Amino acid sequence: MSDQDALTPRVFLMRHGETEWAKSGRYTGTTDVELTLEGTAQVFSAARMVVGAGKLLDPSRLAHIFVSPRKRARKTFELLMSSPSSGAANCKVTYTEDIAEWDYGNYEGLREEEIRTLRKTRGLDQEREWDIWRDGCEGGESMQQVSNRLDRLISQIREIQRPCMNGGKPADVLLVAHGLILRCFFKRWLGLSVDSRLSMILAPGAIVVLSYKKNNMSEPAFHVGIALPFAEESEKA
């Protein structure tokens, strides 16, 4: 990694591994579902490739880990940091509803086409199609409620990282959560509204890296591409 990368704190976003509901396109918010065998394999693969001393996600550089309290996220975190050599046992871990999946309310367990049909039978969306980013969920969370809790978490993360912007102690942060809420977090990190038109794909078990441009707390950014640590660094681990 570059000298600049070594100085600038990062935030890693990891989506939990595959579940049967996610696989079938069902909106999964508060319901606790298990990872599939494929989902478990996805997390193990990610852990093997990117977690460890000298690797992209180096536990020795983690200052704090935030995990959604939902079972699928907790299990993903456990699998990701399951190696005794990961060093995660020495890191502060917080399970928080602030990074739980969007509460889908009446739409829990439904597929998108089922939600659209349900809303139209109730006389909704006559002039424009339903957009969860903008319209939220009946009986669940609104865009503003989601924004409020993510902004609260972002403020907490920046307080952790603020004293470490110029090469102080390591202050990377890891979030283990869900597909939709992590994409919302991505937008809020950049100062964008949750309903901003920004198409994103975040596959189960995928990892996103956020940071700050020019080592400046007032310029939150994301890595379009990131240079991986040199092979010899990983081999020393």
CA distance 130 to 120: 9
72 marked ligand binding residue: yes
101 marked ligand binding residue: yes
Nearest to 217 by CA among 161, 140, 170: 161
**Sequence-distant (≥ 6) Cβ neighbours of residue 19 within 8 angstroms:** 28, 33, 34, 35, 36, 39, 72, 204
Taking a C-beta distance cutoff of 8 angstroms, is the pair 173, 12 a contact? yes
CA distance 215 to 229: 19
List strand residue ranges (DSSP E) for 8-146, in order.
11-15, 62-67, 92-95
103 marked ligand binding residue: yes
Sign of the four-CA dihedral 102, 59, 84, 17: positive
Residues taking part in catalysis: 16, 101
167 marked ligand binding residue: no
94 marked ligand binding residue: no
28 marked ligand binding residue: yes
CA distance 205 to 17: 5
Residue 174, classified by CB atoms within 10 Å of its CB into exposed (0-12), middle (13-18) or buried (19+), is buried
CA distance 96 to 68: 6
DSSP-derived secondary structure letter, 66: E
Q: Which residues are annotated as a binding site for substrate?
A: 28-29, 72, 101-104
Q: Which residues are annotated as a binding site?
A: 28-29, 72, 101-104
